[in-house]
Amino acid sequence: TADQCSTGEQKALLVSILLAHIRILRAAKGKMPILVLMDEIAAHFDPNRRHALAGALTGLHAQAFLTGTEARLFEDFGENALFVSVADGKVSVRSG
């Protein structure tokens, strides 16, 4: 059961359910959801799970907004990502 899993394992289970739901919506409606939004999605994931997450989201070919406090957690997205940072009231944008 989920209560016997680590925080990272619980989060991986939840993300798997979310990704499956997105695929079901695509199959049922014939199109992707307009937007996938995930807050602090990479927190508690080890490097292997972060890599798998990047591959799964990239494979969806959907527009996704992911938030996090550490850019390094999203390195596996590489060129498939646009990084937006806000610091001291200023916004900066860089490609992956």
Residues 6+ apart with CB under 8 A from 65: 35, 36, 37, 38
How much is the pTM?
A: 0.82
Strands 90-95 and 36-38: unpaired
pLDDT in tens, 1-30: 778 999 889 999 999 999 999 999 999 998
Confidence of residue 35 (pLDDT cuts 50, 70, 90): confident
Rounded to whole angstroms, how far apart are CA atoms 30 and 44? 33
Q: How far apart are CA 60 and CA 38, in angstroms?
A: 14
Q: Which helix (H) or strand (E) is 66 found in, with range?
A: strand 64-66
Domain ranges of the chain: 2-95
Q: Considering the domain 2-95 in this protein, what is its CATH number?
A: 3.40.50.300
